[in-house]
Amino acid sequence: MKDNSSTRLDSIGHPQGGVSGDAQAAPTNAPQRKRRRRRSRHKGVKLLSRKRKSGTTYVARWTDPFTGKVTDKSLSLLGLTTHEARTAWAEAKAADLQKLRLHASVGGVFATNVDLDIAINAYIADLYIRCRATTVTHYRESIDIFSNWLKDIGVSKTTEITRIHLVNFFDHWKALPCKVSRRGREVGRGTKLASERVRSKSTLNKGTRSLRTLLGWLNARDYVPQLNTDMIRASLVLLRLPKPRPTFLSVDQIGQLLSSCKDHDSATFKLRDEKKYTPVTEFILFNLLCGTRFSEARELRWAAIDFASQLVRLHHEGVKTNAGREIDLSLCPLLLELLQRMKLKSGGKEFVFGGDNHRLKSFWNAAKDRLMRSFSAPFFNWNMLRRTATTYLTNAPGIFGGASAFHAAKRCGHSVQVGFDHYNGVLRHISAEHHTLEAAMQIEPFIRDLLMKWSSPDDVAA
């Protein structure tokens, strides 16, 4: 049945008060129903918007439960551009504030009020479980400076650390001079002295990250109730660094480096009698073609090389990122043949470069410096050899084709985004007919001559 009722419209055609037909509208003086209030999901944290000339910015405001101070935090600077993201942040912040109010309600007595030394030693012990010893050593430098500074100003408990302490320490940390190795006889390994130069931004950021990690660990265990994640990040700021293009060796420089290695291995030096230098060509060639990290190549064992599958399998315990990976040796078949000949003459020793024990880092660094100082090698370091391998793999059209950035990242152990940002399109002269890394670097004749040396029955592995 068709409904012939009509709805009253106002002057612009909108329904008037939802009254249809000839029904009478409710009197205007009738008491209006009170609007139901919606309970906030982030109690204690207000989300405000401010209109600026540059646009609308969003701010969170809350009251500190200890000091009673009203605190504002720009959410736009945090990159929270959507309502959902800002609400999620406010909910997490409200949960943190509720925890602090609970602590404050009992008179500020905390079950986690421990000595600073005890808390830091517990953190270092946890680090040794999760990280390598060298990583812990780097962390300790900035942590020890922070701990000593707190003691000098009279802070002995973790609950006494406040935001202003972090701000003041960061100013102190930036003004500290860097340390340089002390040279001379009978000085001792690792001895360092303060210099007149200030610390570089890279060094400061490395120490800042260590302190952020320490304070985050303490915060998760309620050791620092007067701090939260926002305070830690705002007080210990990472400095902006320049991002230059990665440096690598050109084809001519690679040839010059390998020629210097050949001269080095055949040269002699006088100690008590005339001796030859320990060969370094094979080690440098492996770094150059496999793109491994220095520690990965230095500690490489024969057990990690699968000659049948033509793979180097790196175990996660020996990798910086704790992520094991495989290196395909079919991309450098001449290097694979060289490793096979070295294996035959290894005498059953465990390590590829060193024999029964891998050589110390100082040995290889001394050899690197000697190559540049006495044998006319171009400037290089171990990381530059790794970057060189990644650069040629990413830009050689005949090796991986259109998926070069992905496969190069997988082989060298970094993210695909790093390959696109830093290595893609850097080299353009590599021929599409070069299907191996040795051909792309134009070092095949050199490696063939090296194979002739290892085919000699008088030659033994170094």
Q: At what angle do helices 201-220 and 116-130 cross, to 10 degrees?
A: 100
* Predicted local confidence at residue 461, as pLDDT: 43
* Predicted local confidence at residue 270, as pLDDT: 62
Centre a 10 Å sphere on the Cβ of residue 99 and count the other Cβ atoms it contains. 14
Q: At what angle do helices 133-152 and 201-220 cross, to 10 degrees?
A: 80
Residue 330 DSSP SS3:
helix
What is the per-residue pLDDT across 17-72, written as a single tens digit (0 to 9) for each?
A: 544 445 555 555 666 666 666 777 888 889 898 888 788 889 999 887 766 778 88
* Predicted local confidence at residue 418, as pLDDT: 83
* Predicted local confidence at residue 105, as pLDDT: 66
DSSP annotation of 308 reads T
| Model confidence, pTM | 0.66
- Tallying the residues shown for the chain, one arrives at 462
Annotated domain spans of the chain: 46-105, 116-235, 251-454
* Predicted local confidence at residue 6, as pLDDT: 47
| 39-to-36, 173, 431 alpha-carbon distances in Å | 9, 45, 67
Place of tokens 């959507």: 82
Which residue positions in the chain have pLDDT lower than 70? 1-37, 66-67, 103-112, 180-195, 269-274, 456-462
Centre a 10 Å sphere on the Cβ of residue 189 and count the other Cβ atoms it contains. 6
Q: Are 385 and 393 in contact (CB under 8 A)?
A: no
| Alpha-carbon span 419 to 423, nearest angstrom | 5
* Predicted local confidence at residue 2, as pLDDT: 47
What does the angle CA 108 – CA 114 – CA 119 come to, to the nearest 5 degrees? 135
Task: Give the domain 251-454 fold.
Answer: hpI Integrase; Chain A (1.10.443)
* Predicted local confidence at residue 19, as pLDDT: 47
* Predicted local confidence at residue 312, as pLDDT: 92
Per CATH, 116-235 and 251-454 having the same topology is answered: no
Task: Tell me which amino acid residue 83 is.
Answer: H
* Predicted local confidence at residue 187, as pLDDT: 53
* Predicted local confidence at residue 40, as pLDDT: 79
Report the Cα 376 to chain-centroid distance in Å. Answer: 34
Does domain 116-235 correspond to CATH entry 1.10.150.130? yes
